[in-house]
Amino acid sequence: MQAFLQQILNALQLGSVYALIALGYSMVYGIITLINFAHGDIFMVSTYVAFFVGSALMAYALKLPGLITFLLTMFASMMFTAFLAVVIERFAYRPLRKAPRVSAVITALGVGLFLENFTLATIGPHPRFLPPIIPVQRFTIGGIATSNIQLIIIFVSAIVMFLLDTIVRRTMVGMAMRAISWDKFTVPLMGVPMDRIISITFALGASIAAVGGTLYGFVYTIDPYMGIRIGWWAFISAVVGGIGNIRGAMLGGYLLGLVEIFTPVILPSSTYRDFVAFSMLLLLLVFRPYGLLGRPVTQKV
């Protein structure tokens, strides 16, 4: 039982990161029906930004308290990736808004590969560690080993997800987003600045991925190709939850975290996790083609 709870805690930690990235996929898909394959690599860039900013703050800055350094690192990473996502949207996706949808998806694949290989060419392939901005403290609660980092990851993600859900449901920007995803032909006629709302969506999605990236960097190593695997896993999370649905993306993220943690427990080796996750996805698509919380889209003739 204790081992089980321990694994649940680990799954929550990993699932939070997946959920944070899956949100970006889901928001972008919801608003312009584009599978933004570059999102995983935006996440990768965000961990590198966190790495450089964090290292610089640790090395040169005044002796700031750990929490402020952490927040500054995360903020810098969020700003940079939001800017990057807006630039990508402006120069790669916007010209293709009226082109066949497949062209935009291919462009997204190309942008993702470009980001990966550009990082590889400029920064190098070595795996790196984020500096210890917040010193790790391990402790046990009721026999379950945990650390302050693990709790920070789970709580920060929960707060960010709650904030995003509020933004989408309660603010004017969120209302505009939902309106555009409902009907993108009429909404601009009502005076909603569609391009700006789409840019905001990209910026929001990327900055949430950056929160995930910074948190991820505290625990795992970072390298230029890490965005591929995590990006795909987050993408599956988004699809499992029902792509375009924000709460579905969160649910999917936590489910995928569970799958990743519990596969090595049940099957002989951890290399089966891709197999399990993708088979689960295929089975789900057969029985519930629109995901767990998604609703079917009817096509007008």
Residue 124, classed as helix, strand or coil, is coil
Q: Does 265 bind other proteins (CB under 8 A)?
A: no
| E strand segments, 98-217 | 138-141, 144-147
Closest approach of other proteins to the CB of residue 290, in Å: 8
Binder of other proteins out of 66, 67, 103, 221 (CB under 8 A):
103
Residues 297 and 175: their CA atoms lie apart, in Å, by 20
Q: Which stretch binds other proteins (CB under 8 A): 46-54, 113-121, 133-141, 167-175?
A: 113-121
Q: Which stretch binds other proteins (CB under 8 A): 19-27, 87-95, 133-141, 155-163?
A: 87-95
Tokens 């609703």 found at:
295
Sequence letter at residue 188:
P
Residues 292 and 285: their CA atoms lie apart, in Å, by 10
Binder of other proteins out of 33, 55, 147, 181 (CB under 8 A):
33
Q: Radius of gyration over alpha carbons of the chain, in Å? A: 19
Q: Does 67 bind other proteins (CB under 8 A)?
A: no
HSE value, Cβ hemisphere, 13 Å, CA-based, for 96: 17
Q: Which stretch binds other proteins (CB under 8 A): 15-23, 111-119, 157-165, 245-253?
A: 111-119
Binder of other proteins out of 117, 166, 186, 221 (CB under 8 A):
117
Q: Does 134 bind other proteins (CB under 8 A)?
A: no
Closest approach of other proteins to the CB of residue 118, in Å: 5
Beta bridge partners of 138: 147
Closest approach of other proteins to the CB of residue 286, in Å: 4
Tokens 């089980």 found at:
4
Q: Which among 161, 149, 154, 164 is positioned nearest to 67, based on CA atoms?
A: 149
Contact in structure between 284 and 242 (CB atoms under 8 Å)? no
Tokens 């391990």 found at:
138
Binder of other proteins out of 95, 132, 143, 193 (CB under 8 A):
95
Binder of other proteins out of 2, 166, 171, 271 (CB under 8 A):
271
Q: Does 160 bind other proteins (CB under 8 A)?
A: no
Binder of other proteins out of 87, 106, 136, 145 (CB under 8 A):
106
